[in-house]
Amino acid sequence: MYQEKEIFSRNELLIGSKAMDKISKAHVILFGVGGVGSWCAESLIRSGIGHLTIVDPDDVSITNINRQLPATTETVGQAKVNVLKTRLLAINPHADITAVQTIYTNDTNDLFRLDTYDYILDAIDSPEHKTNLIINATRTNATFFSSMGAALKLDASHIHTAEFWKVYGCPLAAALRRRLKKNTMPAKKFLCVFSDEVPENKGIPPIPSPGQSIRDERKARINGTIPHITAIFGFTLAGLLIQDIVHSSSLP
């Protein structure tokens, strides 16, 4: 079996041994392993994250294949978190990876013990559940990062990062801010990945097929997505975490 130091030698060459040590010891939980979250998980493990919990209720569906890492014609019907865990362990067999096939809601929040993590990452689609996670995650001491909507995007040059209240041109962020102002405000500021591009769907929405994922069935509207955008969102989300650790490692 390959040693971790061999696997991540190029990472350490760039960021140094102190940062790599902190990355390997960080405890991370990621909610949602679809178009954005699956690529985020891959990037985290390839960056050397040693402890990762991935949470998603869905099985792979045929309509996931265009953009989601676990989705192939051979994995349709399998739990996304289980497929992804197998892949991630093939990248780094030393990693501690926990797969949880459960939907995140305000009612299930206590199951996750959010205050035990160093980092909490949000790649949830549902505005309701996303709002609940924002409220609950920002009450912990963990560092929290969130992805805004990656659907209806095509031009990668429009992808940016910003503090949540400074995100612009993103309908999902605007909807979340309205929800939060009516309910409970976040306890602290947090960074987001977003795009200010809003093109229109040009095709006809697909008819739900047998085995359609839980999340897709609950959507009021299905919007078009493209793989390079969801992947860049996911890699950028992972990058926020890695950069945070690298920055903290350089402090005296």
Average pLDDT of the chain, as a whole number:
93
Amino acid 219: pLDDT: 47
pLDDT digits (tens, 9 = 90+) for 118-135: 999 999 999 999 999 999
pLDDT digits (tens, 9 = 90+) for 12-39: 999 999 999 999 999 999 999 999 999 9
Amino acid 233: pLDDT: 98
pLDDT digits (tens, 9 = 90+) for 76-100: 999 999 999 999 999 999 999 999 9
CA distance 143 to 40: 16
Nearest to 33 by CA among 67, 1, 80, 74: 80
Amino acid 51: pLDDT: 98
pLDDT at 211 over 50: no
pTM for this one? Answer: 0.92
Name the band, by pLDDT with cuts 50, 70 and 90, for residue 138: very high
Orientation angle between helical segments 227-249 and 37-47, nearest 10 degrees: 40
CA distances from 177 to 143, 181, 184 (A): 20, 6, 10
Amino acid 4: pLDDT: 82
Give the alpha-carbon dihedral of 100, 103, 107, 112, to 10 degrees.
Answer: 30
